[in-house]
Chains A and B, each alone.
Chain A
């Protein structure tokens, strides 16, 4: 398992001992194609790394009396998911679904935090890496949102009230 973890974006650069410690607390989990790993709103207890296969992160969307999942990100081998398990309020903000037979390594929050209590240097590196991933996610969705906002402005220009125009023209 430590070889597998070594390939993960999250554990890049960790030495053999650290990978060994993480592998000791990791558990294998398998999913069938179409099976859900977690659902939006569920308690987030475990954090995952994809070992093989693929997991889609989805937003459930209600439309016409039906709720369907829209995939917003596809995660392949080495990708980490489920960081909601490490951040309050410990609830998943997306759903995750395997698109093919998939293997994952799962880490429980408790086991990870206990390990980092014993190995603070490892905990520091781990959370630094997590903050990078969370930051990228934040910037990505922030940019997606502002692009949609601009699209909205282009599609529905709203004219200024007349009074405001006069004031603006009058200085």
Chain B
């Protein structure tokens, strides 16, 4: 009887461990599957992010916009623009009309 009880206990314990292992394996598989699904969802986004450097590299290869800084040529350019505009506007002030207000200025001088 004692031996029967012992083997019964061992059998139940082993069966319990087997059940536990099966359940854990199932859970892990689900987690893995979920991870896989998430990866599937995320990967396109990751890929699109991965392509960004190429996009930026492409832009970076073109000359970067010049950082605005003062120099004598820029100041001369701005002051010449103001002079030209004022000359046009003076006509408007003395003889206001749409034509005199929006009269075309000569093209901007090119800065060298």
Binding site for B on A (CB under 8 A): 61, 63-64, 66, 68, 70-73, 136, 139-140, 143-144, 146-147, 150
Bound Cα distance from A40 to B85, whole angstroms: 22
Further pairs besides A68-B75, A139-B93, A140-B90: 10, Cβ < 8 Å: A64-B69, A64-B70, A70-B75, A71-B79, A71-B82, A72-B86, A73-B86, A139-B96, A143-B92, A147-B89
Cβ–Cβ < 8 Å partners of A72 in chain B? 82, 86
16 A-B pairs with C-beta separation under 8 A: A61-B78, A63-B70, A64-B69, A64-B70, A70-B78, A70-B79, A71-B79, A72-B82, A72-B86, A136-B93, A139-B96, A140-B90, A143-B89, A143-B101, A147-B85, A147-B89
Interface residues of B (CB under 8 A from A): 67-70, 74-75, 78-79, 82, 85-86, 88-90, 92-93, 96, 101-102, 105
Give every chain A residue within 8 A of B82 (Cβ-Cβ). 70-72
Contact A140 B89 (CB under 8 A): yes
Residues of A near B90 (CB, < 8 A) are 140
* In the complex, the 5 A-B pairs of residues with the closest C-beta atoms, listed nearest first: A64-B69, A143-B89, A68-B70, A139-B93, A143-B92
Q: Are B86 and A144 in contact (CB under 8 A)?
A: yes
Q: How far is the CA of A140 from the CA of B88 in the complex (A)?
A: 10
Taking the nearest CB of chain B, how far is it from the CB of A155, in angstroms?
A: 12
Q: What is the chain B residue whose CB lies nearest that of A143?
A: B89
Inter-chain contacts of B69 with A (CB < 8 A): 63-64, 66
Q: CA–CA, A150 to B92, complex, Å?
A: 16
A136 neighbours in B (Cβ, 8 Å): 93
A143 to B87, CA, bound (A): 11
Docked complex Cα distance between A117 and B8 (Å):
122
